[in-house]
């Protein structure tokens, strides 16, 4: 096989990737970002070229695709497709969330699994990269239907996972309720109560802080970036997209640290609350989204604030932006609008929340940009701590875990500085990719060729 050295250019390397994985644009995008980031580092360290690491790291170890058959409340039988992409386990067992959303394809899970390799490496914990899920649409389904789907999904997935093999968790459409149904079926089939899934409820071996961890971690990371340039979240106006798990706990931490949150969104549109989200309003959002599974428009109706139908929040003037919904939710036009309106920092809760053009613009304008694999790694980091607690048969306190989460986010920031520092600007994309890459690549080389 030809290597990136022989082919000389990134575009040739990418052409080969796109030929091998046709039509999987999100996966191509995720790989391109990493390849561009690590190119110089690899040139300067030829042993990575000699070991052909790039070509080895972009090929998933294993992909499982399976049929999921389940019955709705009216006894109609449905078929969905389940996926698990076990991407790389060089530094630890496969680890990564499950997404239930009608838009997903194999390419979605390849992109997410690939990103997870570097993110998990950055956490400093021993976890490999994986992702999975289904094109099942949880919207409008009854609780019983969700239960039957999760059980049917686990009937197949269980044979591919294990506490030292592959440890799934939540992502879009998979929260505490789904994890309980999935884990319940796993332990029933396996007759084994181990930490094979994270994000579990507390009474079944879950960890304190896991629910909050992605959002809290993202704000801790933003705080690190701001402190580095002599700024602070206190007093800053923050725009948050999404209204699910990551958005809710991002908002909670921003408010706790003295910032002001002025938006939430979902796939129907954006609410703009100029006065700022209070604890009471946030509790309303939590109940609306987590218990009643309603639409964010209800917030606008209840608190008499504007609702922008079908719009994202990036046109709203702010100091800090927290994309917390889905991939490519922030494009070049949005980036220009944000910078024009005085935004100084973007911290991505959503995986690959910004398009390459938007990232390029943030770089060009020297706007702080916390790329997702660094900024949102707090969730999987606390998943790693949940695994550790399960192995010990012990639980740490909330304070203990919050402190560990803060320390991990600080260490991720330091790694970004180490590899992303350039004159007058920290390139967090480059820093995160090179640091994440190095640890995994060194392990791959040490194992030898297989």
User: Of 13 and 134, which has the nearer Cβ to ligand NDP?
Assistant: 134
Q: What is the separation, in whole angstroms, between the first and last Cα of the chain? A: 15
Pick from 245, 263, 270, 355 the residue near ligand NDP by CB under 6 A. 245
Euclidean distance between CA atoms 54 and 39, whole angstroms: 10
Select the span of 62-70, 82-90, 201-209, 349-357 touching ligand NDP (CB under 6 A): 349-357
Residue 171 engages ligand 2IT in binding (rule: CB under 6 A): yes
Contact call for residues 285 and 243 (beta carbons, < 8 A): yes
Q: Is 351 in the site for ligand 2IT (CB under 6 A)?
A: yes
Per-residue binding letters, 179-198, with ligand 2IT (x by CB under 6 A): -------------------x
- Sign, CA torsion 104/110/115/120: positive
Cβ-closest position to ligand NDP: 244
- Please tell me whether residue 263 binds ligand NDP under the rule CB under 6 A: no
Binders in 16-75 for ligand 2IT, by CB under 6 A? none
> How near is the Cβ of 135 to ligand 2IT at its closest, in Å?
17
121, 351, 390, 415: residue in contact with ligand NDP (rule CB under 6 A): 351
**Residue in 383, 389, 390, 433 binding ligand 2IT, rule: CB under 6 A:** 383
Among 379, 384, 420, 431, binds ligand NDP (CB under 6 A): 379
Three-state secondary structure call for residue 81: strand
**In this structure, what token pair is assigned to residue 316?**
């709203």
Site for ligand NDP in 133-172 (CB under 6 A): 170-172
Residue 67 is encoded by which pair of tokens?
A: 């049929």
The region, left, alpha or beta by phi > 0 then psi within -120 to 50, assigned to residue 102 is alpha
CB-based burial, 413-450: b 16+ in 10 Å, e otherwise:
bebbbebbeeeeebbbbbbbbbbbbbbbbebbbeeeee
Distance of closest approach, residue 249 Cβ to ligand NDP, in angstroms: 9
Listed in sequence order, the residues at least 6 apart from 151 whose beta carbon sits closer than 8 Å to its beta carbon are: 70, 181, 184, 185
Q: Point out the residue whose Cβ comes nearest to ligand 2IT.
A: 97
Residue 370 touches ligand 2IT, criterion: CB under 6 A: no
**42-81 mask for ligand NDP (x: CB under 6 A)?**
----------------------------------------
Residues 6 or more apart whose CB falls under 8 angstroms from that of 30 comprise 111, 114, 115, 352
**Residue 320 CB, nearest approach to ligand NDP (Å):** 17
Q: Mind telling me the catalytic residues?
A: 131
Q: Which stretch binds ligand NDP (CB under 6 A): 120-128, 318-326, 330-338, 403-411?
A: 318-326
Token duo for residue 273: 């609350």
Give the helix/strand (H/E) hosting 281: helix 279-286
- Cα separation, 385 vs 389, in Å, equals 6
SS3 content of the chain, % helix, strand, coil (to 5): 50, 15, 35
- Encoded one letter per residue, x for contact with ligand NDP by CB under 6 A and - for no contact, window 21-40 reads --------------------
CA distances from 59 to 128, 131, 365, 373 (A): 14, 14, 34, 19
Residue entry with tokens 């630890």? 92
Shortest Cβ distance from residue 70 to ligand 2IT (Å)? 23
Tell me if 157 contacts ligand 2IT by CB under 6 A: no
Q: Could you say which of ligand 2IT, ligand NDP, none residue 129 binds, taking C-beta under 5 to 8 angstroms by partner kind?
A: none
Q: Counting contacts by CB under 6 A, is residue 326 touching ligand NDP?
A: yes
The helix (H) or strand (E) run that includes residue 113 is helix 106-122
DSSP string, 376-402: TTHHHHHHHHHHHHHHHT----HHHHH
Write down the least CB distance from residue 206 to ligand NDP, Å: 13
Longest CA–CA separation in the chain, Å? 64
- 252 touching ligand 2IT, by CB under 6 A: no
Residue 96 or 313 having the CB closest to ligand 2IT:
96
The length of the chain, given as a count of residues: 450
State which residue, 39 or 93, has the beta carbon closest to ligand NDP: 93
CB nearer to ligand NDP: give 326 or 433: 326
Neighbouring C-beta atoms of residue 45, cutoff 10 Å: 14
The Cα-based distances of 39 to 11, 108, 120, 434 in angstroms read 12, 24, 21, 9
Q: Does 316 contact ligand 2IT by CB under 6 A?
A: no
Is there binding between residue 96 and ligand 2IT (CB under 6 A)?
yes
Site string for ligand NDP, 102-121 (x = CB under 6 A): -x------------------
Q: 307 and 270 in contact (C-beta within 8 Å)? A: yes
Binding site for ligand 2IT (CB under 6 A): 95-97, 119, 169, 171, 198, 351, 379-380, 383
Binding site for ligand NDP (CB under 6 A): 103, 170-173, 175, 214, 242-247, 266-268, 324-326, 349-351, 376, 379
């Amino acid at each position: 096989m030809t290597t990136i050295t022989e082919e000389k250019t990134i575009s040739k390397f990418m052409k080969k990737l796109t030929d091998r994985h046709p039509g999987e644009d999100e996966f191509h995008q995720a790989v391109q970002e990493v390849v561009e980031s690590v190119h110089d580092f690899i040139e300067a360290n030829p042993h990575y070229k000699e070991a052909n690491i790039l070509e080895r790291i972009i090929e998933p170890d294993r992909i499982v695709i399976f049929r999921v058959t389940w019955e709705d409340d009216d006894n109609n039988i449905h078929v969905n497709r389940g996926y698990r992409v076990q991407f790389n386990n060089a530094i630890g067992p496969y680890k990564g969330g499950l997404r239930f959303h009608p838009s997903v394809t194999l390419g979605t899970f390849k992109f997410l699994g690939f990103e997870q390799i570097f993110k998990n490496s950055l956490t400093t914990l021993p976890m490999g990269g994986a992702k999975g899920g289904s094109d099942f649409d949880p919207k409008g389904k009854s609780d019983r239907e969700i239960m039957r789907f999760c059980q049917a999904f686990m009937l197949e997935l269980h044979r591919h996972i294990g506490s030292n093999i592959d440890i799934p968790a939540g992502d879009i459409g998979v929260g505490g309720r789904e994890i309980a149904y999935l884990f319940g079926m796993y332990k029933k089939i396996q007759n084994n109560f181990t930490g094979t899934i994270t994000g579990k409820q507390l009474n079944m071996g879950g960890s304190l802080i896991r629910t909050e961890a992605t959002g809290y971690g993202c704000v801790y990371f933003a705080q690190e970036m701001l402190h580095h340039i002599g700024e602070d979240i206190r007093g800053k106006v923050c725009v948050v997209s999404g209204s699910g798990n990551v958005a809710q706990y991002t908002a909670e931490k921003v408010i706790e640290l003295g910032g002001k949150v002025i938006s939430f969104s979902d796939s129907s549109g954006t609410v703009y609350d100029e006065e700022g989200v209070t604890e009471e309003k946030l509790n309303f959002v939590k109940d609306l989204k987590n218990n009643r599974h309603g639409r964010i428009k209800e917030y606008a109706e209840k608190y008499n604030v504007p609702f922008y139908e079908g719009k994202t929040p990036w046109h709203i003037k702010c100091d800090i932006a927290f994309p917390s919904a889905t991939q490519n939710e922030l494009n070049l036009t949005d980036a220009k609008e944000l910078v024009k309106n005085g935004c100084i920092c973007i911290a991505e809760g959503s995986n690959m929340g910004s398009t390459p053009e938007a990232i390029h613009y943030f770089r060009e304008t020297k706007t702080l940009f916390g790329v997702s694999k660094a900024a949102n790694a707090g969730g999987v980091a606390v998943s790693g701590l949940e695994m550790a607690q399960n192995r010990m048969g012990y639980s740490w306190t909330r304070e203990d875990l919050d402190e560990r989460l803060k320390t991990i986010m600080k260490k991720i920031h330091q790694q970004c500085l180490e590899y992303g520092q350039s004159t007058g600007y920290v390139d967090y994309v480059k820093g995160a990719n090179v640091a994440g890459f190095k640890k995994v690549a060194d392990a791959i080389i040490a194992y030898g060729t297989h």
